[in-house]
């Protein structure tokens, strides 16, 4: 018996009783006998055959409805032997069909013969046969079991009502599930999510508790940290204080939200123990190293480790910054804090390798990961069952960026705007959808367009994802360039302080998260900047919403809302919506309440 259930659960891709209970019917066959005649509605009634007439392939049956003392004429458009043998004069049946009226006569179009009146049979849309599913549900879903799973009486009753209904009027309002039922299903779905993750989080004792003092470092900075930077630092501080549990935290903040200061403060708090920071590119590692040298206390010994380039001796350092080249050093000192910047650009294997490098016996170094991909607060709450999350939703200075949708007819004024920016020593970034020409894309490619820009302007630089010299081109452009032509792969890169304009060609093809990353490249130091979204269709609700907000967290929500709008050809949007009822963009409160139950 139990084995059978396991097999069926496997087939249904579910793993718990609540998963099963949440597979509520997508509809019902209701054979409850009608109490009144309602035109336009389904009529279910006992009917006896008065007469039968054939017209070509049509069969017309006149029924008597004893309960209503009325007659109704039913038409079967494609007569079969079954009809002729079933509806013989004076026989009685239960029939069901949509009721209408024609010149005072009641009509039924193609009614069905019903075997059993007064039942409501659920229709399940699963890989199992409906009868199999009904049997499974009937054998497993009981009030007591649902309560044992942690549901409230109300929640249990809602599920039972959906699986074993007695009156569809309690379930539907105008053919839609009632709002309170949907709300309850969302709540159960969120509850089930947290229930499953409960116990999934694995914590290890820390190699050591860290208690370095960050106050002096913070006071000596040339600017005041934002409240969210300070809050994140204090969350990390209390993580570090716990020797029984190594920190496991993800710090999520928009581009420019000042995550580097959190990284540096963490390295200070780790003193006198050694910390390591891994960045996805040499450019980024170098930039982090420069910032560390600039802001950290002089007595801290900082080393840089990259392929082919080393600064300082990492075996002696307090703070080691590097690329994945770090993973191949077999003479690393003992490390008690591991940090990963732009964590999404590393594979799981690389992140684990670093973690392993720093674990000692059954204990682990404290681990902080930094991500510039904002997620909606609901998603953060959902994920927080596995990893602690700090959100930095504000940026230290507000960026002054104007975002505009433009089209062919705006090209001339765009050219003069580019000219103006270059004249005041600012830089322009133009993003093309592809490197080479393609039939599928109605926009110029990088290679097709480059001649035009190179003829018109000086110091035009070109790079793209497969470009081996990408990093050098970027460094060269930073010093000497006017215009950089690139593809979206420059997504996360170095800081270009003079960059004040980004033009995205074929912007409607990109996800909002990508556009947000691209826009984040300009105005890094507060210079007035522009983001032009070039598209053949100048009206686009998604892009217009994007133009109105600068918050990555708002944009993550918008991305979810427009997830199904279909005009995104790019594959960056997370696939596989996990929830049937919950909407991550709008159901923050439901998720929050479900989380509180644990």
Work out which of 73, 107, 260, 586 binds ligand ADP, going by CB under 6 A: 260
Return the range that interacts with ligand ADP (CB under 6 A); candidates 27-35, 249-257, 421-429, 437-445: 249-257
Return the range that interacts with ligand ADP (CB under 6 A); candidates 233-241, 252-260, 500-508, 559-567: 252-260
318 touches 311 (CB < 8 A): no
Regarding 253 and contact with ligand ADP (CB under 6 A), the answer is yes
Sole residue written with tokens 């792969």: 489
Q: Return d(Cα 214, Cα 236) in angstroms, integer.
A: 11
28 touches 125 (CB < 8 A): no
Q: Return d(Cα 296, Cα 221) in angstroms, integer.
A: 9
Tell me whether residue 291 or residue 447 sits nearer to ligand ADP (CB atom).
291
| Residue 254 C-beta: closest distance to ligand ADP, Å | 7
- Encoded one letter per residue, x for contact with ligand ADP by CB under 6 A and - for no contact, window 374-413 reads ----------------------xx----------------
Q: Return d(Cα 503, Cα 525) in angstroms, integer.
A: 19
Regarding 281 and contact with ligand ADP (CB under 6 A), the answer is no
Residue 474's binding partner among Mg ion, ligand ADP, none (Cβ under 5 to 8 angstroms by kind) is: none
- Nearest in space to 337 (alpha carbons), one of 278, 295, 380: 278
Quickly count: other Cβ atoms within 10 Å of residue 88's Cβ.
10
Quickly count: other Cβ atoms within 10 Å of residue 255's Cβ.
21
Tell me whether residue 158 or residue 229 sits nearer to Mg ion (CB atom).
229
Work out which of 65, 250, 255, 265 binds ligand ADP, going by CB under 6 A: 255
Kindly provide the residue ranges of all beta strands, DSSP E only, lying in 232-285, ordered along the sequence: 248-253, 275-278
**Rounded to a whole number, what is the distance in angstroms from the first to the last CA of the chain?**
32
Regarding 493 and contact with ligand ADP (CB under 6 A), the answer is no
Residue 598's binding partner among ligand ADP, Mg ion, none (Cβ under 5 to 8 angstroms by kind) is: none
Q: Tell me the residue number closest to Mg ion, measured at CB.
A: 259
Q: Is 42 helix (H, G, I), strand (E, B) or coil?
A: strand
Tell me whether residue 182 or residue 221 sits nearer to ligand ADP (CB atom).
221
Q: At 353, which helix (H) or strand (E)?
A: helix 348-358
Angle between helical axes of 259-270 and 227-240 (0-180°, round to 10): 30
Residue 376's binding partner among ligand ADP, Mg ion, none (Cβ under 5 to 8 angstroms by kind) is: none
| Residue 217 C-beta: closest distance to Mg ion, Å | 18
Tell me whether residue 137 or residue 339 sits nearer to ligand ADP (CB atom).
339
Regarding 257 and contact with ligand ADP (CB under 6 A), the answer is yes
Q: Return d(Cα 52, Cα 84) in angstroms, integer.
A: 9
Kindly provide the residue ranges of all beta strands, DSSP E only, lying in 258-365, ordered along the sequence: 275-278, 302-306, 309-311, 319-322, 337-340
Tell me whether residue 247 or residue 263 sits nearer to ligand ADP (CB atom).
263
Residue 258's binding partner among ligand ADP, Mg ion, none (Cβ under 5 to 8 angstroms by kind) is: ligand ADP
Tokens representing 154 are 């109300």
Residues in binding contact with ligand ADP, number by CB under 6 A: 15
Kindly identify the residues of this chain, within the stretch 241-280, that bind Mg ion according to CB under 5 A. 259
50 touches 71 (CB < 8 A): yes
- Longest CA pairwise span in the chain (Å): 104
Work out which of 261, 269, 505, 531 binds ligand ADP, going by CB under 6 A: 261
Tell me whether residue 222 or residue 566 sits nearer to ligand ADP (CB atom).
222
Q: Return d(Cα 205, Cα 82) in angstroms, integer.
A: 74
| Residue 252 C-beta: closest distance to ligand ADP, Å | 10
In order of 56, 394, 525, the CA distances from 220 in angstroms are 96, 22, 21
Residue 396's binding partner among Mg ion, ligand ADP, none (Cβ under 5 to 8 angstroms by kind) is: ligand ADP
Regarding 51 and contact with ligand ADP (CB under 6 A), the answer is no
Residue 256's binding partner among Mg ion, ligand ADP, none (Cβ under 5 to 8 angstroms by kind) is: ligand ADP
Work out which of 25, 258, 433, 506 binds ligand ADP, going by CB under 6 A: 258
Residue 261's binding partner among Mg ion, ligand ADP, none (Cβ under 5 to 8 angstroms by kind) is: ligand ADP
580 touches 126 (CB < 8 A): no
- Nearest in space to 519 (alpha carbons), one of 402, 352, 379, 353: 402
| Residue 443 C-beta: closest distance to ligand ADP, Å | 29
Residues paired with 367 in a beta bridge:
248, 338
- Encoded one letter per residue, x for contact with ligand ADP by CB under 6 A and - for no contact, window 196-235 reads ---------------------------x-xx--x------
Q: Which residues bind Mg ion (CB under 5 A)?
A: 259
Q: Which residues bind ligand ADP (CB under 6 A)?
A: 223, 225-226, 229, 253, 255-261, 372, 396-397
């Amino acid at each position: 018996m139990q084995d059978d259930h396991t097999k069926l659960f496997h087939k249904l891709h579910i793993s718990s009783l609540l998963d099963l209970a949440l597979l509520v019917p997508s509809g019902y066959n209701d054979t409850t006998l009608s109490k009144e005649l309602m035109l336009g509605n389904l009529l279910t009634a006992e009917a006896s055959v008065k007469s039968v007439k054939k017209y070509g392939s049509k069969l017309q049956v006149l029924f008597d409805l004893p309960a209503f003392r009325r007659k109704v004429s039913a038409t079967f458009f494609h007569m079969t032997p079954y009809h002729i043998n079933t509806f013989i004069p004076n026989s009685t049946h239960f029939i069901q069909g949509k009721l209408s009226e024609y010149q005072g006569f009641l009509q039924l179009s193609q009614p069905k013969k019903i075997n059993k009146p007064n039942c409501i049979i659920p229709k399940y849309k699963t890989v199992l046969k409906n009868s199999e599913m009904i049997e499974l549900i009937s054998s497993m879903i009981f009030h007591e079991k649902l309560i044992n799973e942690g549901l409230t009486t109300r929640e249990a009753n809602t599920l039972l009502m959906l699986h074993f209904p007695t009156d569809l009027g309690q379930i539907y309002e105008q053919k839609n599930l009632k709002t309170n039922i949907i709300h309850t299903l969302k709540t159960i779905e969120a509850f089930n999510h947290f229930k499953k993750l409960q116990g999934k989080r694995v914590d290890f004792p820390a190699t050591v508790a860290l208690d370095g003092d960050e106050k002096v470092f913070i006071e000596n900075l040339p600017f005041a940290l934002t409240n969210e930077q300070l809050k994140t630092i204090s969350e990390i501080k209390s993580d570090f204080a716990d020797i029984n549990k190594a920190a496991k935290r993800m710090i999520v903040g928009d581009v420019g939200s000042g995550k580097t200061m959190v990284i540096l403060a963490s390295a200070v708090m780790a003193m006198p123990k050694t910390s390591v920071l891994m960045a996805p590119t040499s450019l980024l590692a170098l930039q982090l190293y420069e910032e560390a040298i600039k802001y950290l206390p002089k007595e801290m010994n900082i080393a840089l480790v990259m392929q082919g380039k080393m600064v300082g001796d990492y075996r002696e350092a307090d703070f080691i910054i590097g690329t994945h080249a770090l993973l191949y050093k077999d003479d690393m000192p003992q490390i008690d804090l591991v940090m990963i910047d732009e964590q999404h650009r590393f594979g799981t294997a690389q992140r684990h390798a670093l973690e392993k490098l720093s674990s000692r016996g059954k204990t682990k170094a404290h681990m902080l990961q930094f991500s510039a991909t904002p997620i909606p607060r609901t998603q953060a709450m959902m994920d927080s069952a596995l990893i602690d999350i700090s959100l930095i939703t504000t940026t230290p200075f507000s960026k002054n960026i104007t975002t505009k949708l433009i089209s062919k007819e705006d090209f001339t004024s765009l050219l003069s705007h580019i000219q103006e920016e270059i004249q005041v020593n600012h830089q322009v970034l133009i993003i093309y959808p592809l490197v080479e020409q393609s039939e599928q894309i109605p926009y110029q490619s990088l290679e097709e367009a480059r001649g035009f820009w190179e003829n018109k302007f000086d110091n035009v630089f070109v790079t793209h994802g497969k470009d081996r010299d990408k990093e050098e081109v970027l460094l060269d452009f930073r010093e000497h360039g006017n215009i950089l032509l690139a593809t979206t792969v420059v997504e996360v890169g170095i800081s270009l302080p003079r960059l004040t304009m980004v033009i995205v060609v074929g912007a409607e093809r990109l996800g909002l998260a990508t556009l947000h990353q691209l826009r984040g490249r300009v105005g890094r130091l507060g210079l007035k900047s522009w983001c032009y979204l070039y598209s053949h269709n100048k009206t686009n609700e998604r892009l217009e919403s994007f133009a109105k907000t600068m918050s990555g967290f708002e944009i993550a929500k918008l991305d979810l809302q427009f997830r199904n709008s279909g005009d995104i050809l790019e594959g960056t949007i997370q696939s596989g919506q996990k929830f049937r009822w919950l909407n991550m963009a709008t159901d923050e409160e439901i998720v929050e309440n479900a989380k509180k139950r644990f």
